[in-house]
Structure 1
Amino acid sequence: MAPIHVLHGQPTPEELATVLAVVSARAAATQAAAGAARAGAGPATPWNDRARRLRTTPKPGPDVWRTSGWAR
């Protein structure tokens, strides 16, 4: 992180610590979002959606074996 310079006023140590905490948290959140975007974390497709594993089992009927592997 680049050094921070106080240009106007005389902040107390508590005020300065508060500002630095907010700026640090904001920078960390931005960096985490950029890392997630680089990792390809996008919307789930039917093939990699974890909720797909929780679906109900197919009901008995004709040709159920064909539709059991379809994405929902």
Structure 2
Amino acid sequence: MTIKVVRGNPTPEELAAALAVVRARAAAAATEPPGAQTPKDAWSDPARIAAHRVPQPGQASWTRTYWPS
């Protein structure tokens, strides 16, 4: 594997830290069994948005349009 610095001039310590992170992630990915499902990120889960009741029209409905209670 070859890593090339495209932009900037990292110090040897910064480069060593970045390589340590890349190696740790590669080692963690190598230990997972093939076909294992990774947990979904809550921010990308569409059920997070649809889990709340849609506000009904009314006198103060504009206050509930973005943050459902």
Normalising by the smaller structure, the TM-score range is 0.3 to 0.5
Greater relative contact order structure (CA < 8 Å, 6+ sep): 1
- Quick check: which has more Rg, 1 or 2? 1
TM-score, reference length from structure 1: 0.45
TM-score, normalised via structure 2 length: 0.47
